[in-house]
Structures are given as C-alpha cells and as structure tokens.
Structure 1
C-alpha cells in the first residue's frame, strides 16, 4: 500500500516536466563548477578523461534503467521505496540510509565551494561563514513551498548552464591542447600502466560530475504526471550534464597549467584568470554567475534530502517527528532543518573529517559518493528482482536494451565501490560505521513500523 493512504502525511502534486528537468540539472550542475578537478591530482587530465567517460557511460545506463523504477513507483522515498518493495524492510533500510548519506553530505561540500567563490570576490569573507549563511537562506526557501523551490531551481539551472557556456567561450581563444595533454597521464606525457591506479583513485571525483541526478525520484510524488514527465526530465537532464561536463573539463585543462587547478574549490575562475587576468570583468562575472550553479545544486539537494528524511520518517525508519508537514506551506520543514544541522556540523568539523591527508571538501565528497554508489547497486538489484517477482507491474517506461543497460550500470557501480574502498579505506570504514549505527536504530524501531503497516492496510 502507498504510504499516502490511511491519513499518512502527503505532499502536494505541483511540479511540471520543465521544473523536473530543472531539478535534474540543478541537483548536479555544481559538479561542473568544482570537485571534479581533484581527480586530476591522481590521474592527470587524460587519465581522468578516461575515468570520466567510463563514469558518464555508467550514469547514462543507470538513469535509463532507474527511470523504470521511478515511473513505476512514484514515491518521495525514491530508492528506499523501490528496494523496500523488492527486498523488504532491510533492503529499504540499506537504500534509504545510503541515499540519506549521499544527500546529507553533498550540501556541505557545495556550501564550502560557495564560500570559496565568494572569497575570490571578497577576500576578507570567511568561507565557512558564507557556507552557514547559504544553509540558512536555502533551508528557508525550501520550507516556503515546493512551487517556489522548484521555480527557483529551474531559473538557477538555466543561468548556471548559460554561465558554463560563457566560461567555455571566454577561455576558447586561449585554449591549447598541449596544455591539456602535458603530463596528462598521472604526471607523465605518455600512457603507462603506472597511470592506472591514479585513474581508479579518481573515480569519486568523476562521479561528482553527475552525483545526485537520481534525486528527481524524490520529487516523483510531487509531480503532476510522473509517468510522463520523469522520463523526459531524466533523459534530457543526463544528456545536458554529460555534454557540459566534457566541455568544462576540456576547456579548463587547456587554459594553462592544469596542476594549479587540481586541489582547489574554484577551478573555473582560476582557469579563466589564466586567460583574461585577475582584473578582467569576465572573471568577476564568472564568479558571480558561477554562484548560480553552486546554489542550484545546493538548493536542489536540500530539496532531495528533506524528502528522503520525510519518507523514511513516514514509514517508521526515522522518528515520526520528521514526517510532520508544515500546515501552511505543505513542505517537510522539520526534515529540511534536520539535514541542515548535520551539514553545518560537517562544515565545522575540520579535524574530524580531514582523514587520509585529503582536504575537508575531498573527504565530504568521498563520503557522499560512497552513499550514492551503494544506492545505485541496491537500486539496480531491485530492478532485476522486480522484473522477476512482479512481471505484471505497470511500467510506463522500460529500461532500454534490458538487461544490458542495468547490468552495465550495476557492474560499473561495483567497480566503483571496490576501487573506492581500496583507495579510501578509512572513509569506507566511517561509511560502514554509519550504516551499522543506523541498522541498530532500524532494529529498535521494528515495532513502530509494524504498527504503521497495520494502520495503512
């Protein structure tokens, strides 16, 4: 039974196809502005390009497959709902907890990047203070109402796309392929087997290009016509993002010495500075408009984590307190605030989160990616399971080239998970510890879930 029945809290159906596309692009587009360039540090430009193409193929096949689940089971819990239906409560817990980790840890990384961009314009500003301000502003925007949030997200996404195109256009006259290829194989000019470990180590940062596009699934319950609009939003979104990711990576790397961009939070302004100088009006425009891309993802992921917290609480996996809907705005305001508290704590937990010699941002990104990859694996397994166990389920959109697309996505995700554990073992243990702690809570709330299930029948 749908959790919306029997008086359970329900969300308002208000989102159009275009707004869903805006959410799909907006959720991810900050990944084109920062985060990905950390992959150059280990893989080089050419090595990272190979990694990014593999990840782009994995995401494309994943989205085409994931859309089948989203349109068949339109639910605010997204992956949690699909895995629960396929594998029962434990499957639901694993997918829900992994998605929650992905969506709660991504915003602090983006907020720190917003702070870094503002610091370029105003060096006296504390990036962390800016990050805190961003949380307060956009949590408020998400509480005010879904139409306000979705319309703002659409506008931010459009401006962010425009700005990436401006960046490529301004950098193009100074672009040099020689700059991009110099030392492009993990510091070497020619490929050797020694470059392969660095390419695997760069996987989390290639994933950052596309991380969170699956968050559209969490808006499915609020879509006017999810079975029609979500496939359009997903397919249009992933194609838009693949094109932008490849373009931004190529033009930034060809602007000058790419090694200067490989461990910073604002690679695009710094790449443009190599071409037009630090006093150019183009640079200042990029910093200001570039904030739209970061804000689009930040705003969109707050939307996503709040729906995940809300859905888990509504089903009894989290305290029912977080399933409360605001009586005036019809939004899950307590869920919005809960995720914000965790994110703000992460921003101010430098010594705790600086693990393995990586920066605070790099470790937050890695933690978010661990959650995402785990969820991708469970979701593809759920797709295969539901094809067998519920062959008569209404599927408004079927994964093309089944079983090859979902199988490629599944195998790609497994490769990503294995390499990430190998290269980020301490962070993997932290991630596993979070899942284990959550599982203890899951076991202690079994009685409440049973009561809720009985009341919905």
Structure 2
C-alpha cells in the first residue's frame, strides 16, 4: 500500500548521513564502472572489429564526457539521493520524473545480477564443487550486508577494492604492451563496415555503464557542491585512460579474434583479459593466476558499488511515496536504507535464476541510455525554467555539452533497439506498466490525501 509521501524534514528516519569526500567519490565512480573493463566489451569485436568498436567507443566517450559535466551541474544544484528522478521531477513534473527514475532503477538493479554471475563464474574455477549461481547468491548476501552496516564502511571497502582493480589493469597493461604489434590492431579491423559500428555501440556503453551513480550519493557527501565535481571528473579521467590501455593492450597481443574465441569455432567468451594473458604467460603460470585473482577485484568493486547506488535510487522512490514508504526508511542505528537494499537484493536474485546474463546486461544498458536522455533534457529545461536556481557548478560550453550528450544517447538508443527488438519491448513494457500504476494509483491516491489534508 502506498502512503502519503514523506518530506525530508520529518526526522532521522528519512535522513542520510554526510560522510563522503572526493576520494571516496572517486572510488565509487571508478568502482561502479570498472568491471566493464574486465568483461563484456570484447563481445562488440565480432560485429564491429577493432576499428568498428574503437569508433563506437570514441563517440561514447564523447557522450560520457559531455554527459558527466552536464549531470554534475544537476547533482551540485540538487544534491538528492534520487539522482535523475529528482532532476526530471523538478524540470518536467512528477510523471516524467517517475519514468526517468524508473529507468535509473532498472539500470542499477539489473546490472548487479549480471556482474554477480561473472563473480560466480570466477570463483567456480577455484571452487568447482559450488554452482555459479550459488556463489553469486552468497555474494549478494555478503555485499548487501556490508552496505546495510554503514555507508562509511561500504565506501571504504569500495575504495580499497577499486584501488586493487585499477592496479591490476595497469599491471595487465605492463605485461601485455611489450608484446604489442600494430598489425594485430589492423587485422580484419572493419569486418562489417559502418553497420558494425552501429552494432558495437551497446558494448562501448558497457565500458562506462554506471558512472552516473556518483550523483546518487550526493545527499551523503560533505560539501557536495564542490566534491561531486571532483569525484565525477577524476573518476571519468581514470576510466578513459584505463579503457584505452585495456583495449590497445588486449587486442595488440594477437588480434581481436584471440580475445573473443578461446579456440577457433568456440562460443564467444566474455573474459578478454585472461585470453590475452594466456597468449603470453600460458594458463598455469603464477603471473597468470595472480592477475586473474586480482582481476576478480574489478567485478567485486562494480557489484558492491552498484548495490549502493541502486539502494539510494530505490530509497528515494520510497521516501517520495512512489513505492511503499517502508522502502524510504533509514535504519536508526546504521543510517542506511536497509529495506531498499533488501528489496533490490530479492529482485537481483530472481534475475540471477533466469540465467539470462546477456539479456540482463542489455536491459540495464537500456535503462542507462534512457536515464541519460531524460537527464540532458532536464539540464536544458531547468536552464530556461529556473535560470535563477543556485548552480555551484555550471556545465561548460552550454548548451553544446548537454545537446551533444543527448544526440549521441538518442542514436545509441536507436541502435540498441534496432538490434534487440525483443528486449526493447520488454524494457519499454516495464516502463509503461510502471507508469500506468504510478499515474492511476499512486498519484491519484496522493492527490486525494493532499485534498483531504488541505480541507
């Protein structure tokens, strides 16, 4: 049952504690995304080739640069845990805000089970007596519990694990770059022409998916008007450098086919780094096992970080009455959204048991792209609607930055839809059903309650 929305001033039950600084935000921003460097992106190589995926990634980097600066303007001006939900609501009203917030929740709730499955697959190599799904479920309980315990503990862990993951990628590049050959980048580099660039776009998005989650902890950030920009900007710069290093060093060892297919004719692998390393160190050397073990840190960092971001988005939905307000409560002792964390864990585990990891990733990408579109529209609308609103940070080269991000996001959405029609129908059906429920049940009931209170 949905109750009347609660305002943030009604006590500690709905207040988050401010503990995060710019270094913690950097750890979160890089941590949310870094698993995308470890797996999944190489699946864009069979359709795009080296050049096709590189071109797609170039435009996606432009999108993320322009998006990040634009989104930072919103995050600094409206430092709320709901992220795009709060921004779009203020710019375009409750209905559009709900749809934007729902897209955000789909991204943040569906990305973790895909990463959990990858964690399960990694551990299954060392613990073959346990199933991949079983290990993934255990990971959900462990990291949901850590997030329930406290945001300071959760983000400290995230910072440490992210530092290990970054170190591993730098070490990986140090091992592979001496074996780099330019001819490996140019071999069969453009197999499907410009159509391949189109098809590779979702995999380029996967390189950076989740970065916007930094905005969802703005309500828990000390001096968010300054620190959000520092955390966002430094995280993006780090990720762009890592993306280039991983792409060049992986493909440069033996060509893109060697980091997609373990053996000729085999199914495409989503583990490009081990395949690249195997060509240099073999599959049994100490260096190979060391790098693979540390590489697990990247998956853990993204999994843990996205659990945190998802809980804040769900919490804001509960706090404002879009879902039952019990999910908008803060634990009196731990000062974390425990109920929101438990709800997201339940949904994630259900998604895990479908076994459709690739489909789950694609649906999460749909949520991200729709989020980006609504966010950029919100930047443009608020500049006209509320020109006097305090903006501690303003996006440079306005309106070119938000317009550029908006155009690339729309093109990406068209590309993803044309290549994944079935999943697009599922995603937009979820949005449509959620909106119908919100508009005709939640919103109507809230309006009736407000009228009764005002009499």
TM-score, normalising length: structure 1: 0.93
Are 2:260 and 1:256 equivalent residues in the alignment? no
Matched residue SS, 1:445: helix
CA distance in 2, matches of 1:156, 1:321: 31
Contact 1:316–1:452 (8 Å) recurs in 2:
no
- What is the aligned counterpart of 1:436 among 427, 432, 437? 432
**1:452 Cα deviation (Å)?**
8.1
Which residue of 2 is the match for residue 127 of structure 1?
132
Which residue of 2 is the match for residue 149 of structure 1?
154
Contact 1:77–1:312 (8 Å) recurs in 2:
yes
Which residue of 1 is the match for residue 282 of structure 2?
277
- What is the aligned counterpart of 1:159 among 164, 178, 183? 164
- What is the aligned counterpart of 2:323 among 282, 304, 318? 318
Q: 1:230-269 maps to which residues of 2 (within 5 A)?
A: 230-262=228-260, 263-269=268-274
**1:260 Cα deviation (Å)?**
4.2
Are 2:422 and 1:446 equivalent residues in the alignment? no
CA distance in 1, matches of 2:383, 2:287: 52
Matched residue SS, 2:253: coil
- What is the aligned counterpart of 1:6 among 7, 10, 26? 10
Are 2:374 and 1:378 equivalent residues in the alignment? yes
Unaligned runs of 5+ in 2: 261-267
CA distance in 1, matches of 2:448, 2:269: 50
**1:448 Cα deviation (Å)?**
4.7
CA distance in 2, matches of 1:398, 1:452: 38
Q: 1:26-175 maps to which residues of 2 (within 5 A)?
A: 26-175=31-180
- What is the aligned counterpart of 1:389 among 385, 390, 399? 385
Aligned positions, number: 440
Which residue of 2 is the match for residue 214 of structure 1?
212
- What is the aligned counterpart of 1:303 among 294, 308, 317? 308
Q: Residues 257-302 of structure 1, C-alpha deviation per residue, up to 9 Å, x if partnerless?
A: 5324333232211211111101111111112111111111100000
Q: Residues 348-375 of structure 1, C-alpha deviation per residue, up to 9 Å, x if partnerless?
A: 113xxxxxxxxx3322111001000001
CA distance in 2, matches of 1:452, 1:116: 50
Are 2:397 and 1:422 equivalent residues in the alignment? no
CA distance in 1, matches of 2:377, 2:343: 30
Seen in structure 2, the aligned counterparts of structure 1 residues 453 and 340 have a Cα distance that, compared at 3 Å, is farther
- What is the aligned counterpart of 2:189 among 171, 184, 190? 184
CA distance in 2, matches of 1:378, 1:324: 27
Contact 1:167–1:286 (8 Å) recurs in 2:
yes
Contact 2:6–2:319 (8 Å) recurs in 1:
no
Matched residue SS, 1:74: coil
Which residue of 2 is the match for residue 344 of structure 1?
349
Are 2:297 and 1:288 equivalent residues in the alignment? no
**1:201 Cα deviation (Å)?**
1.2
**1:451 Cα deviation (Å)?**
7.2
Matched residue SS, 2:321: coil
Seen in structure 2, the aligned counterparts of structure 1 residues 165 and 2 have a Cα distance that, compared at 3 Å, is farther
Contact 2:180–2:252 (8 Å) recurs in 1:
yes
CA distance in 2, matches of 1:224, 1:177: 46
Unaligned runs of 5+ in 1: 187-193, 351-359
